Structure 1
């Protein structure tokens, strides 16, 4: 029934699908976004600011200074979020206050290797957060009773992105190299002898997203494909070939029926200037709209069919002030 409604919405000539810019947001490079209820958390390491933005009012509600690379809301509490910086700062904070923190630590004081973080993923039960850095190290942080460093692992492959399986029993890792592989570790132990690996793409596995209903995990690859995986049986159950460059960011909507992606690469080159939305159950291409620059981040609202996305600031036309 939901798929029929989506077919009708995207196939209609009426204005059932619309888009607009986030008003009054200054042009800057965005590293990470997530929804905090109906508001957006926007991490911008270049101008060293993490913002909570109200899209309806078109204004910043509050901000936190720091070179934050990744931000994610607590899966079970829209008023709590975690952020990690390139330099190793880690913070869990109340988004309703600029000064209230659950924890605020410098991870480098625990280990000098705990820095240059690139990815973060919060477990579905909110008890653990896993971090990955440029040196291909994984760190498990236990959040159940304060903050405690759990398992850690150095990998012999490039870590591009991580995400938890919807049941919370495993951590999926998208790895670089050819072919592109998915490495799946038991959690929270990250035991190597219980891990499995599957070939996911002809070239690097670049990005991951978990369907909130538990049906799929999606992986974007350097071979221009987005693939769907059964997280329980760890087999590929579908793929989409609507991209012509590497798929670098993915997100499912709250019902798992829609998958959005973008293809912006690092730096000032690469990526298609469009936003793509497909039906996970129907295989249909619902939306591939032209954008002013390649799409760098996508994130669906946790309970509505509202998609937030950012484009590469480095590739925006000079006369585009937004």
Structure 2
């Protein structure tokens, strides 16, 4: 039978195969429909009236497969042959679909308008600036952002069906389709499946296997594994049905967006990371339990002994691999007690002799003492085991140990906000973690007490989104928050009260403390740069972004500076005598503090410089940009010594580890990249489900806090909403 769907009267019509399609009919599956609201072209509208051959209600599945073989069924008779999981009921909410397509149309229209507006503005600016560089990058919605917005629309209206796509040759299409159809009908695969019929213009056949929710990673992975292991085929990619409804069939579209949710290669890597982390965790816990039993009977047999050589400058440095104490679920995260020449038991496996993180990877000039290289300052740990060599002398071996360490780590989720989280920040002793959200609220977490939101402190007072939170580096209980409500607030986490409120001239987007805690720098947007340029006929003399300095003794604004460029992120140097400022031109301005005179300009990127971070030791400055690159600058001679190019999309946020060994970065990729600073090589990737807004390393441990645009289904509305969660990676 051939089925047609009539949206006008909302019912399905059943007709024989020879029935000719009419302009009112829409196929029952809707997998490759063009949008009715977007007035599709003639080539797209041909897909709106797709004929299906499906199984009769009482027809055996074997008879149906014998009757309708894709290799012998001509496309003039039907375009698709389909089979459905009998437990899944076909239902289409036409009202939700119409609303979703209307909203998507508005987003696509806004993108097209903005692209045309940007092109006009760029041409005008180039004429007036005589071809000099202009910074228009961060004011534009990128194709990746547009793609994310369309996914959000699909989730909000519950249009979340997705399909794995397989391509077959004529010689094996019947056998593969037979296995797929039987497994779908017997509830072993997805909710439905379809295969294209014989087309004289191509020798390829397309098989699509549908899942109920492309965002349900567990179900998507199950279908993927069944296809590879039981059906013995290699899926090409997973695509959301919503993009088919929009008429976006491939990556060659005028919006330059990628309609493929996953390709087979990156999805396989994603589930391998997830399952590998679980397996490593299980093996580690088993070894740990066995070791604890042995240690009770023979205290010295097979146990790791640690000896540390301390200098006068090493006041607070935990011991373990790379100078880091092993982070245990039962261990107090803020604990920093370390005694000189004390014996310590390590619960992690395969520990070896390692100098602390302050030691370079290879250094022949560092003097030796008792078989361990030692600098003139810092802590050096010596860990002796029975089955490992006594020293690691090469960069490759240290990098391998770092990869092994992070592969054993897992994360924890902390849920306490109603909307997405923009910022996270650790206090100076690492016992508290602050998070700020679009829900106008700040939460103070104590990770050592667990993930229960009842163990957190809630700070309320802002009337708009909290965009950045920073702790006073000299006071473990004082923090500052910057909000779009044009205020900066100072809080005491012990009382949960706001101790001061400072009003500014614009929406505050970034904030930082001076190293001595005497001043706070606040960056704000006084107006929209894009519209401002258009309004004033592209005049470069307009002063838009402002930088204000607050005296923390009087809580008053001491100085305000206006800039004629886009200011993205700010930071002080370790000594406090320089101030760094990243701009929309892709440069970093180095200013003398407190005079704020320009010392030099670091030409770091070809696109807008979004973020920067200073190495805690004061050696390096790292920058991230819209050109998807990170650069590493030596602050001694102001030279670029390395470029990191692991990401595919604009770099949103970066953070140095406490010892400067590792650099974490995140963008619109579905992962967080941890790179080794000295070698520039990738050490570990943390799989994510959404774009990340912020990453922040713990001040004394390899714990990484991060938050992004993750979503979860609201149990009341059944729609996808922002999850409002943060995560901490690094527990072993």
> If the length of structure 1 is used for normalisation, what is the TM-score?
0.86
1:91–1:15 distance in 2 versus 1, CA, 3 Å? closer
In 2: Cα distance, 1:35 partner to 1:183 partner: 26
**Cα offsets for 1:90-123 (capped at 9, x unmatched):** 222221221262xx12414xxxxx2201111111
Tell me which residue corresponds to 1:64.
459
Question: Which protein has the bigger helix share?
Answer: 2
Would the aligned equivalents of 1:226 and 1:241 in 2 still touch at CA under 8 Å?
yes
Give the direction of change, closer, same or farther, for the CA distance of 1:220–1:15 in structure 2 (3 Å limit): closer
Aligned to 1:41: 434
1:23, distance to aligned residue in structure 2 (A)? 3.7
Match of residue 473 from structure 2: 75
Residue 320 of structure 1: how far off its partner (Å): 9.5
> Per the alignment, do residues 239 and 27 of structure 1 end up closer, same or farther by CA in structure 2, a change over 3 Å counting?
farther
User: Match for residue 258 of structure 1?
Assistant: 662
Tell me by how many angstroms 1:50 deviates. Answer: 0.5
Q: Do residues 188 (structure 1) and 583 (structure 2) align?
A: no
Contact 1:272 1:294 in 2 (8 A): yes
Query: In 1, distance between residues paired with 2:417 and 2:561?
Result: 39
Distance 1:15-1:279 versus aligned 2 partners, 3 A rule: closer
Question: Structure 1's 285 and 303: CA in aligned 2 closer, same or farther, altered over 3 A?
Answer: same
- Range with bigger deviation, 288-297 or 212-221: 288-297
209, 222, 231: which one pairs with 2:626?
A: 222
Structure 2: where are the runs of 5+ without partners? 1-354, 362-391, 527-544, 714-718, 726-732
Q: CA deviation at 1:181?
A: 0.7
SS in structure 2 of the partner of residue 42 of structure 1 = strand
Partner SS state of residue 124, structure 1: coil
Q: CA RMSD in A?
A: 2.4
- Structure 2 Cα separation of the partners of residues 32 and 320 of structure 1: 15
3-state secondary structure, aligned to 1:153: strand
Residue in 1 aligned with 2:611? Answer: 207
Cα offset, 1:314, TM superposition:
5.9
Deviations 1:186-226 (A, max 9, x none): 112323xx442221101111101111111111100111111
- Whether the 8 Å CA contact 2:628–2:649 is kept in 1: the answer is yes
CA distance in 2, matches of 1:224, 1:315: 28
Residue in structure 2 matched with residue 111 of structure 1 by the alignment: none
- Contact 2:403–2:684, Cα closer than 8 Å, also in 1: no
Conserved in 2, the CA contact under 8 Å of 1:140 and 1:188? no
**Residue number in structure 2 paired with 1:289:** 686
Q: 1:166 pairs with 554, 574, 578, which one? A: 574
**What secondary structure is seen at the aligned counterpart in 2 of 1:7?**
helix
Partner of 1:278 in structure 2?
A: 675
Q: Which residue of 2 aligns with 1:119?
A: 510
**Inter-partner Cα distance in structure 1 for 2:649 and 2:503:** 36
Q: Quick one: distance in 2 between partners of 1:31 and 1:15? A: 25
CA distance in 2 between counterparts of 1:281 and 1:41 reads 30
2:521 to 122, 130, 143: 130
Q: CA deviation at 1:292?
A: 0.8
**Equivalent residue pairs, number:** 301
1:293 and 1:315 in contact (8 A); partners too: no
CA contact (8 A) 1:53 1:59 kept: no
1:175 correspondence with 2:586: no
- Aligned residue for 1:78, secondary structure, equals coil
SS at match of 1:77: coil
State the partner residue of 2:482: 84
For 1:107, the equivalent position in structure 2 comes to: 503
Residue pair 1:140, 1:149 contacting (<8 A) in 2 also = yes
C-alpha distance 315-119 of structure 1, shift in aligned 2 (>3 A)? farther
Q: Distance in 1 between matches of 2:509 and 2:698?
A: 23
User: Could you say what secondary structure the match of 1:10 adopts?
Assistant: helix
Whether 2:537 is the aligned partner of 1:142: answer: no
Q: Which moved more, 1:3-12 or 1:209-218?
A: 3-12
* Partner SS, residue 289 of structure 1: strand
Please name the residue that 1:268 is paired with: none
Distance in 2 (alpha carbons) for counterparts of 1:131 and 1:29: 22
Q: Secondary structure at the match of 2:399?
A: helix
